[in-house]
């Protein structure tokens, strides 16, 4: 008598926070897929809902609690994981009906909680291993997490408390994952961690064999090896480095960008420029020669884009400190900048510092820094008008009333979700997301570029 295979249990996922949390969500769902679970795109179809929380700022905690509340209201069977999982008592006080709570990157604990709440029905012989990992990003770009945790003790940050000390992944494992992603269609690898420059410090930059040769567990070696990968079409994928502290060895990556092996883009969390404020923040790599190094980097790779983020209104920040930052930005001419008003985080050392900055002063300084950085960005983007640049296509629109098709993409200076876009007019209707095309820039504003596919290229992509 034939046995009917039962319907797979379905899992819903709400993923909040940074790209590192998104990678955690992908890994959890990949493991659950291997265990026979299916994914649900809505609350109604899910046997259990996972909420991957963010607990870095109070505002992020509020968003996480709201997401938990919504999942409970819409579904009722909720498991909480992620950074806010460290505050299980607070979550249970507000939502006692939550089924289970685990901390950040506790993959096995999350999977076990799902097994308890909704036991797998198909068994290990059905859909044992997915064809590829579950991805929560489009097929053409992927986040590549190289480590967990952080060894720094920045006064405003509680990441080491949430995620622990630095733990680097084996470099051969990272490269194997990257190779697999590129073979499956990834055109852009986004390298992420809490401190990409510190990769391998905890294992003393140990060597591992990769394709018959030793490779150090080190950022520069990793970048060089990622630049050797090829897509099925024989092209070099974009390799984008995030969360890079400006340690001296970062200089060695710039020639790789000039050679086309690594995308000419660095995400460096400077946070401030005033030496006094940086000292109070307990920031690492506080070098007086950062501006000089930026100039040298641009001499080697003129197209390098530098993105950063800054905190305004840190305790003790004076008007003189803030003006120092504005003057520094005038010299640094960073391509992409995000700014944040200082916000006390429970457990952070900065909460105990004297001379808090009044909220109205924070708002005024935030407005001034955004005005400054938008003016710099607008000038830099205007300088690209008339140039032809490579653009990766993220989305292709529907034909308008005249039959014209537009598309949205990104240049090498734009990381997904956090930087600008390139808006294209009159693209071929057969153009697909993930194509990398040469685009002639026709216009610009403070954040985005506008243009058309270069005439000689037509509908072809590279």
Residues 6+ apart with CB under 8 A from 212: none
- For residue 261, the model assigns a pLDDT of 94
Q: What angle do helix axes 107-117 and 19-34 make, rounded to 10 degrees?
A: 50
Provide the pairing of β-strand 38-39 with 78-82: unpaired
Rounded-to-integer distance, Cα 55 and Cα 158, Å: 9
The answer to whether residue 340 scores a pLDDT higher than 70 is yes
Which residue, chain included where needed, has tokens 């924070």? 362
- For residue 72, the model assigns a pLDDT of 93
**Structure token digits, residue 374:** 């938008």
pLDDT of 74-131, one tens digit each? Answer: 998 999 998 888 888 889 999 999 999 988 767 778 888 888 888 876 544 333 333 4
**Structure token digits, residue 51:** 């909420």
Provide the pairing of β-strand 305-312 with 336-341: parallel
Rounded-to-integer distance, Cα 360 and Cα 294, Å: 33
Asked whether the beta carbons of 27 and 106 are under 8 A apart, the reply is no
Mean pLDDT score across all residues of the chain: 88
* SS3 per-residue string spanning the chain: CCCCCCCCCEEEEEECCCHHHHHHHHHHHHHHHHCCCEECCCCCCCCEEEEEECCCCHHHHHHHHHHHHHHHHHCCCEEEEEHHHHHHHHHHHHCCCCCEECCCCCHHHHHHHHHHHCCCCCCCCCCCCCCCCCCCCCCCEEEEECEECCCCCCCCCCHHHHHCCCEECCHHHHHHHHHHHHHCCCCEEEEECCCHHHCCHHHCCCEEEECCEEEECCHHHHHHHHCCCCCCCCCCCEEEECCCCCCHHHHHHHHHHHCCCCCCEEECCCECCCHHHHHHHCCCCCCCCHHHHHHHHHHHCCCCEEEEEEEECCCCCCHHHHHHHHHHHHHHCCCEEEEEECCCCCCCHHHHCCCCCCHHHHHHHHHHHHHHHHHHHHHHHHCCCCCEEEEEEEEECCCCCCCCCCEEEEECCCCCCCCCCEEECCCCCCCCCCCEEEEEEEEECCCCEEEEECCCCCCCCC
Section 383-405 average pLDDT: 92
Section 164-184 average pLDDT: 92
Domain 141-382 CATH class label: alpha beta
Tell me how crowded residue 41 is: count the other CB atoms within 10 A of its CB: 10
Instruction: Place 56 in a pLDDT band, splitting at 50, 70 and 90.
Output: confident
Q: What angle do helix axes 319-332 and 290-300 make, rounded to 10 degrees?
A: 20
The answer to whether residue 346 scores a pLDDT higher than 90 is no
- For residue 130, the model assigns a pLDDT of 39
Q: What superfamily would CATH give domain 10-117?
A: Methylthiotransferase, N-terminal domain (3.40.50.12160)
- For residue 365, the model assigns a pLDDT of 96
Rounded-to-integer distance, Cα 243 and Cα 269, Å: 6
**Parts of the chain belonging to CATH 3.80.30.20:** 141-382
Section 39-68 average pLDDT: 87
pLDDT of 194-246, one tens digit each? Answer: 899 999 999 999 999 999 999 999 999 999 999 999 999 899 999 999 999 98
Phi, psi torsion values for 101, nearest 5 degrees: -135, 130
**Structure token digits, residue 428:** 């071929």
The answer to whether residue 297 scores a pLDDT higher than 70 is yes
Rounded-to-integer distance, Cα 198 and Cα 379, Å: 34
Section 126-155 average pLDDT: 72
Provide the pairing of β-strand 407-411 with 388-396: antiparallel
- For residue 111, the model assigns a pLDDT of 85
Which segment of 93-97, 330-334, 347-351 scores lowest on mean pLDDT?
347-351
CATH topology of domain 388-453: OB fold (Dihydrolipoamide Acetyltransferase, E2P) (2.40.50)
Rounded-to-integer distance, Cα 240 and Cα 190, Å: 5
- For residue 414, the model assigns a pLDDT of 96
Asked whether the beta carbons of 90 and 64 are under 8 A apart, the reply is no
**Structure token digits, residue 347:** 């457990």
**Parts of the chain belonging to CATH 3.40.50.12160:** 10-117
Q: Nearest-CA neighbor of 306 among 329, 326, 275, 286?
A: 329
């Amino acid at each position: 008598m034939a046995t009917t295979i039962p319907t797979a249990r379905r899992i819903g996922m709400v993923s909040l926070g940074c790209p590192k949390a998104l990678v955690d969500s992908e890994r959890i769902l990949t493991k659950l897929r291997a265990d026979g679970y299916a994914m649900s795109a809505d609350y109604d179809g899910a046997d259990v809902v996972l909420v991957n929380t963010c607990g870095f700022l109070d505002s992020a905690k509020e968003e996480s609690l709201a997401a938990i509340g919504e999942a409970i209201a819409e579904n009722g069977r909720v498991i909480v994981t992620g950074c806010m999982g460290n505050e299980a008592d607070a979550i249970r006080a507000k939502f006692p009906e939550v089924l289970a709570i685990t901390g950040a990157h506790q993959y096995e604990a999350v999977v076990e909680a799902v097994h308890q709440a909704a036991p797998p029905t198909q068994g290990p012989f059905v859909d044992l291993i997915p064809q590829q990992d579950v991805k929560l990003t489009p097929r053409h770009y992927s986040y590549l997490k190289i480590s967990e945790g952080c060894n720094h003790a920045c006064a405003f940050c509680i990441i080491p408390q949430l995620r622990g000390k630095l733990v680097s992944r084996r470099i051969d494992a990272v490269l194997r994952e990257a190779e697999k992603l590129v073979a499956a269609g990834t055109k852009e690898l986004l390298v992420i961690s809490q401190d990409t420059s510190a990769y391998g410090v905890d294992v003393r930059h140990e060597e591992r064999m990769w394709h018959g040769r030793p490779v150090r567990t080190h950022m520069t070696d990793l970048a060089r090896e990622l630049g050797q990968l090829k897509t099925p079409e024989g092209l070099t994928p974009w390799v984008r480095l995030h969360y890079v502290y400006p340690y001296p060895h970062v200089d060695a990556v710039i020639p790789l960008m000039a050679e086309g092996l690594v995308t000419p883009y660095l995400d460096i969390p400077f946070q401030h420029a005033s030496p006094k404020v940086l000292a109070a923040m307990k920031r690492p790599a506080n070098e007086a020669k950062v501006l000089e190094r930026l100039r040298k980097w641009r001499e080697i790779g003129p197209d390098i884009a530098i993105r950063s983020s800054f905190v305004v209104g840190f305790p003790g920040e004076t008007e003189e400190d803030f003006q120092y930052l504005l003057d520094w930005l005038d010299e640094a001419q960073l391509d992409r900048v995000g700014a944040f008003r200082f916000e006390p985080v429970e457990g952070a050392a900065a909460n105990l510092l004297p001379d808090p900055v009044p909220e109205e002063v924070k708002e005024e300084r935030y407005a001034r820094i955004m005005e400054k950085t938008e003016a710099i960005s607008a000038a830099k983007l205007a300088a690209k008008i008339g140039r032809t640049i490579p653009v990766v296509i993220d989305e292709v629109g529907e034909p308008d009333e005249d039959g014209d098709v537009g598309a949205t993409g990104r240049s090498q200076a734009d990381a997904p979700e956090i930087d600008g876009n390139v808006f294209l007019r009159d693209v071929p209707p057969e153009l697909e997301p993930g194509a990398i095309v040469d685009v002639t820039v026709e216009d610009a504003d403070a954040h985005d570029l506008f243009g058309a596919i270069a005439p000689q290229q037509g509908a072809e992509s590279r």
